[in-house]
Structure 1
Amino acid sequence: MNGALDGVRIIDVSRVLAGPFCSMILGDLGAEVIKIEHHESGDETRGWGPPFSGGESAYYLCANRNKQSMTLNLKSEQGKEIFRKLISSGDIVIQNFKTGTLEKMGLGYRELKECNPKLIMASITGFGLTGPYKDLPGYDYIIQAMSGLMSITGEKDGSPVKVGVAIADILTGLYTCIGILSALHHRNESGQGQEIDISLMDCQVSSLVNVASNYLFNGLTPGRMGNQHPNIVPYQTFPTSDGELVVAVGNDEQFRRFAAVIGRPELAEQQRFKLNEMRLLNKEELVPLLEESLKTKTKKQWKELFDAAGIPNGPIYDIAEMFEDPQISARGMLVEMEHPTIDGLRMIGSPLNLSRTPVTMRKHPPLYGEHTDAILAQLGYDSGQIDKFKQNKMI
């Protein structure tokens, strides 16, 4: 069965996470992805460990399945010629060089579209191709700080805290996918390619959603709220007799049922707690009362009671506990792939479930330069030319 993007060729010259994560998603959906790596060092994440297995880092493996790896010296004239040949046969380029780098090499969008007028290029940078910060490097941690995200993450009286994964990179990868798919649709209608200018900063600011909207509405700068919600109560963690549990009461009817389950039905009838806006105003009075009740049972006991009453809740799992949850295996979020140097490579699955064009795990994360010779042969180079490229350090 063909994937949704079968027949689409992606030339991915990005490294680290945002770009590779994006191209992996598109690869899962059926696109052919050719990963271009530096001819001497490759993607930086190949060395980001431990842990390593079979000579590969866990970090690299997480974002590079369903790709072919080709090494290429883009600073050489021969390397540029090879790259232009690839572009002529491709549909999409994903790149995350600093602003202006490809243009200086004569490989910017304006130059490449001469080779392929239908080309779509997604240019990922820290701060975008325009604006006063366009030439600055942008790393996830810096973006989390400057976007305001860290200012609202952490305990109320503690220091700002970054999110536990490179969330700005991940969000940028997802937004880049949206941009690419939109540009593909436009090209199918018009025959025209285009450049997508996407930045980590823009994507992270966009993700502030309701928190930023609250500020724009009332002018009050949001602060850290720990595990509480700025607009909903109770919507936070609570200690039980054996650990912590998240309760997310989203409306007044749920609060009425919640109060009954914990043995305090009268709380839902009191004027100061009956409506969410009043619970928010009187949170400092309400939360200690709820904490007192929730300490009387285990998190498992509360989960069973809350599930039966239709109250959103969940225990706080560590990563090991998460992977042991039967829902994860039922949804295919843990997959195993064959790999030439790793026995039983386990990876996170795809959350995309398409009924007619399901995602597929066709190719293991490639070894460094694993497909260079094969791709060059497809482009028309013979074995003698390929050997010469190696001697001249073109590949």
Structure 2
Amino acid sequence: MSGALDHLRVLDLTRVRAGPTCCRVLADFGADVIKIDAPEGLDPNAGVIGHRHGYDMLNLHRNKRSLTLNLKAPEGRALFLEMARNADIVVENFRPDVKTRLGLDYEALSAVNPRIILASISGFGQDGPYSDRAGFDQIAQGMGGLMAVTGRPGEGPMRAGAAVADSSAGIYAATGILIALAEREKSGRGQWLHTSLLQAQIAMMDFQAARYLVDGEVPGQAGNDHPFATPMGVVATSDGHLNLGVGGDGQWRALCRAIDQPDWGSHPDYATGPERFAHRAEIWGLLRPIFAGRTSADWMTILNEHDVPAGPIYRMDEVFADPQVRHLGIAQSVPHPVRGDTRLVGQPVTLTRTPAEMRRAAPDVGQETDEILKEHGLDEARIADLRARAII
């Protein structure tokens, strides 16, 4: 079992995707993550990303335990603060004002535990003119610039096919938590850290954002082509498509040899990166009929023999059938009492001594409520009373 974070206890107040993604990192590396769920009927948005036994919930909430707790009730809040005394981390992704109204902001948490770390994820930030708005991934993709550079030129904005803002915000929050934990080793004190979908999406734009900030250029849509390297993009074969990744001049010459056109490698219109970019349409016009004459598998063999960067374009079933993906072992199994042996998406980083591990399936709502409360000193009579009054 992974011992990397098994000394940490996390109180998980999150829902939807960004927050659960953050907590999943901690859980997969051994932290005791206690997911705080609302008692049945109290949260109108409880099923926003599907059924508890659905693929998304199973993937987001594995390796966690679940406790039901009504945080709107004074006794529920008091019980949460009592649990916070012995916790290391609280993660939440409410709208910024909600934690304050619940009395669970950093000031309240640090009053009972000065070592606690509070991680907050919001749509647009903890303050500012948009702080009270609801944030969703696609909205952040649009406001963060991703949709304006995605898709074919002239066809209008296009969302990315993955939840880029949600997932990256969760990963940035997890990174912030690990930094705060490292700093706590020196100071002995916790702190409040926060990120947002908007910040994370802008950060993920990386070189496109820097292109504007440094040079004042506003990047546009390039479709499947790289913004400035040619030929780097999608080309059709006789039975499908391939990605070509020809960036440097040496790779261009290698490609020309692979397609039996070595003279193109030194052609004055194509020999350098700037020239190839200036003649992008012409180059693709030369390449397309050549690639259309062979299968994708044939081209992968030829291109690999000539050390030309290229790769197939997979559907998701093909992704997990690929021998390299199978070797990496990113699809990992965990037994589930209803769904049976379930394959989920593992962590994309390998630690040689303390790797991430699938220890347990995502819990049903409140599955470990009694267990967790007994760990905090409540007896069966008190637990029964709390349940009777819908506190848990």
TM over 0.5: yes
- In the TM superposition, 1:179-328 aligns within 5 A as 179-328=176-325
1:44 Cα deviation after fit: 4.7
Distance, in Å, in 1 between the alignment partners of 2:195 and 2:214 is: 27
1:73 corresponds to: 70
Contact 2:333 2:358 in 1 (8 A): no
Secondary structure, aligned partner of 2:300:
helix
Contact 2:169 2:200 in 1 (8 A): yes
1:217 Cα deviation after fit: 3.4
2:138 corresponds to: 141
Distance, in Å, in 2 between the alignment partners of 1:135 and 1:319 is: 37
1:143 Cα deviation after fit: 0.6
2:3 corresponds to: 3
Structure 2: which 5+ runs fail to align?
A: none
Q: 2:117 aligns with which of 103, 111, 120?
A: 120
Larger deviation, residues 241-250 vs 327-336: 327-336
Contact 1:47 1:57 in 2 (8 A): no
Deviations 1:26-69 (Å, cap 9, x if unpaired)? 111111100001112569564644xx6xx611121121111001
Q: 2:345 aligns with which of 340, 344, 348?
A: 348
Secondary structure, aligned partner of 2:269:
helix
Deviations 1:46-101 (Å, cap 9, x if unpaired)? 4644xx6xx61112112111100111000001101110111111000100010111
Distance, in Å, in 2 between the alignment partners of 1:43 and 1:327 is: 43
1:13 corresponds to: 13
Secondary structure, aligned partner of 2:192:
strand
2:362 corresponds to: 365
Kindly provide the amino acid, as one letter, of the partner of residue 163 in structure 2: A
Q: What is the TM-score normalised by the length of structure 1?
A: 0.96
Larger deviation, residues 155-164 vs 215-224: 215-224
Distance 1:324 1:45, change over 3 A: farther
Distance, in Å, in 2 between the alignment partners of 1:167 and 1:244 is: 24
Distance 1:187 1:27, change over 3 A: same
Distance, in Å, in 1 between the alignment partners of 2:213 and 2:48 is: 43
Distance, in Å, in 2 between the alignment partners of 1:45 and 1:59 is: 13
Structure 1: which 5+ runs fail to align?
A: none
Distance, in Å, in 1 between the alignment partners of 2:336 and 2:44 is: 19
Secondary structure, aligned partner of 1:272:
coil
Distance, in Å, in 1 between the alignment partners of 2:275 and 2:311 is: 25
Give every structure 1 segment of 4 or more consecutive aligned residues whose post-TM-superposition deviation is greater than 4 Å: 41-47
Contact 1:72 1:79 in 2 (8 A): yes
Number of aligned positions between the proteins: 391
Distance 1:285 1:178, change over 3 A: same
Q: What is the TM-score normalised by the length of structure 2?
A: 0.97
1:216 Cα deviation after fit: 2.5
Contact 2:244 2:311 in 1 (8 A): yes
Distance, in Å, in 2 between the alignment partners of 1:92 and 1:21 is: 15
Contact 2:90 2:117 in 1 (8 A): yes
Q: Identity of counterpart residues, as a percentage? A: 38
CA RMSD, Structure 1 to Structure 2 (Å): 1.5
1:32 corresponds to: 32
Contact 2:16 2:48 in 1 (8 A): no
Secondary structure, aligned partner of 1:100:
helix
Contact 1:19 1:95 in 2 (8 A): yes
Distance, in Å, in 2 between the alignment partners of 1:372 and 1:173 is: 26
Contact 1:46 1:56 in 2 (8 A): no
